[in-house]
Amino acid sequence: GDNAVRPLRPRVVTRNQSSAGPECSIVITSVNKPLRVALFSDCFHALNGVSTVSNEFVAFAGRHGLPFCCIHSGSVTQSTQEDSVTTIELKRALNIKMDEDLFFDPLLSRFRNNVMRQLEEFQPDLIHITGPGDMGLLGFWISNRMRLPMAASWHTNLHEYAGRRVEGHLRRAPYKFRNRTAAAAERHSLRALTWFYRHAHFSVAPNQEMVDLLLEHTGRPSYLLKHGVDTSRFARRPKTPGGKFRIGWVGRLTPEKNVQAFAALEANLLAAGEQDFELLIVGDGSEREWLRARLKHAIMPGFLKGEALADAFASMDAFVFPSKTDTFGLVVLEAMASGVPAVLSAEAGARIGICDGVEGFRSGDLTDGVLRLMRCAELRQTMSRAAEGFARAQSWDGVFRDLYESYGEALQHPEVRRRLHPEYLSRQLVEQK
C-alpha cells in the first residue's frame, strides 16, 4: 500500500555539467574539504519562507558542486542524485494540518532506519534542521544516533503567532482577560520552543533580535542566517502609465500577519480624499473573508506563483507589510527587487534593515508612508531605485557562503565541542592524520 515502507533506491538524474557553476571555494573541514551537509526541511513544496530558503540552499549547493543531501516530503518515497546533491523524499502517511502550509506525520519515524542507511553512505559532517516539525524531529533523532553535530534554524516566531491567534479567538472577551491569556500563550510557547532548540549544538536565525534571544534562552551559540532574493526572477518592469496607484501585499491572510490593518489603511486613504487607488492582496487564509467583506478597493486573486507572482510584484507602486511577528519577510525583498518601495511596521523594518525614508518607510504609520508615495512621483521613483539596489545586494550566494562560515566557526566553538560526541571528535583526529 501507499503507507508501506519501501527501500530507497537511488535514481541518477543526469544534467549537462556545463550548467553547474564552478566548485565553491568553501573549505572548513580539517582535511581541506567542503563540509558535507544534510538538510531536513519541514516545508519544501509550500509557499513560505522556509520552503524558499530550503530550495535556494539546494540550488546553491548544486551550482557550486558542494556535497549536499536534502530530506523532505514528496509524493512518493524515493532517492535521487543530481551532480553533488542527493535528495531523499518521504511520502507522509498522515498529513495532519498544523497550519495553512505546514503538515505533520506522526508516523514519519518509520523511515528512520532507511534514511539513516542512506546518510551513512553520504557521510554527512553536519545535520541541519529547519525547525521542530516532523522532518526536523527525524533529523534530530538521526543526528543523535549517528553522533553528529546538529544545527537548528529559527524561521518563524511561533510564540508570537500563538499569542496573536489566541487574542483573535478571544476577540469578544474582556480586554484584560484577552491580553493576559494571549501573553501566557506566547510565554509558554516560547519556553517550549527554546527547550527544543537547546538540544541543538547551535542555531541560526534571520535577524539579530532572534539570534540574541536564542543565545539568551538556550545558552548555545547562535548565528545570523540572512535572507536573499532571486533578482533574475523578481526585477523592475515598466508600469502602465495612468493606472490606479496600486498598493500590494503577498502572504498568508492570518491574524499574526496583522492583515486587518488593510481595512484601516483603506478607510484612512478615503478619509484623506484619495480615491484613485486599489489594493492587490495576494494570498489566502482565515482573514480572507473578513477582508473581502470590508475592502471596497481590493483585488484578491488568492495565492500566485511563478510568472504570475513576479508580474503582481512588478505592477505595484507600494508594498505594505503590516506584520509585526515575521522574523524577516522574504516577500519584502522580492517586492523591492521589483523596484517597489516598502511601507512596513517598525518591527519588520528593523529586522530587515531598511533605512526609514530611503528604501521605504518603517515608522509604523502605514497611512502616512503610503500617502507620501502616492502624492510625490519623484519620491516614489527615488525610493524605487533605492529599494531595487538594496534587494540586489542581498544575493543567495552571499547568504549561504556566510552560513558555511558560521558552520565552521560553530564547530570550533568551545561550547559546541564540549557537547560533541567523543566518537565524532576521534573521527576528526583520524582524518587529520
Mean of the per-residue pLDDT values for the chain? 86
Each residue of 63-73: pLDDT tens digit?
999 999 999 99
Each residue of 159-208: pLDDT tens digit?
566 666 777 777 788 877 877 887 787 787 878 888 889 999 999 998 88
Label each residue of 241-308 as H, E or C: CCCCEEEEEECCCCHHHCCCHHHHHHHHHHHCCCCCEEEEEECCCCCHHHHHHHCCCEEEEECCCHHH
| Closest by CA position to 323, among listed 258, 252, 248 | 258
How far CA 155 is from CA of 127, 132, 319, 398, in Å, comes to 17, 11, 22, 18
pLDDT at 425: 72
Indicate the pLDDT class of residue 2, thresholds 50, 70 and 90.
Answer: very low
Residue for cell digits 534554524? 153
Is residue 426 over pLDDT 60?
A: yes
Distance CA 256, CA 287 (A): 10
Each residue of 287-303: pLDDT tens digit?
999 999 999 999 999 99
Is residue 34 over pLDDT 50?
A: yes
Is pLDDT larger for residue 82 or for residue 430?
Answer: 82
Each residue of 307-345: pLDDT tens digit?
999 999 999 999 999 988 777 788 999 999 999 999 999
Q: Which residues contact 168 (CB under 8 A, 6 or more apart)?
A: 255
pLDDT at 148: 94
pLDDT at 391: 92
For residue 363, give the C-alpha cell: 515608522
Each residue of 236-272: pLDDT tens digit?
887 776 789 999 999 989 888 999 999 999 999 999 9
Distance CA 251, CA 304 (A): 10
pTM for the structure as a whole: 0.79
Residue 91 DSSP SS3: coil
H or E stretch at 80: strand 78-82
| Closest by CA position to 249, among listed 288, 200, 210, 195 | 288
**Orientation angle between helical segments 208-218 and 175-197, nearest 10 degrees:** 70
Cα Rg of the chain (Å, integer): 23
Q: Which residues contact 131 (CB under 8 A, 6 or more apart)?
A: 42, 50, 152, 153, 154, 155, 156
Is residue 12 over pLDDT 50?
A: no
pLDDT at 31: 61
Is pLDDT larger for residue 352 or for residue 57?
Answer: 57
347: Cα within 13 Å, side-chain hemisphere: 15
Distance CA 264, CA 66 (A): 49
pLDDT at 45: 87
Distance CA 28, CA 65 (A): 15
Is residue 22 over pLDDT 70?
A: no
Lowest mean pLDDT among 75-89, 148-162, 196-210, 217-231: 148-162
Residue for cell digits 552571499? 398
Q: Are 216 and 194 in contact (CB under 8 A)?
A: no
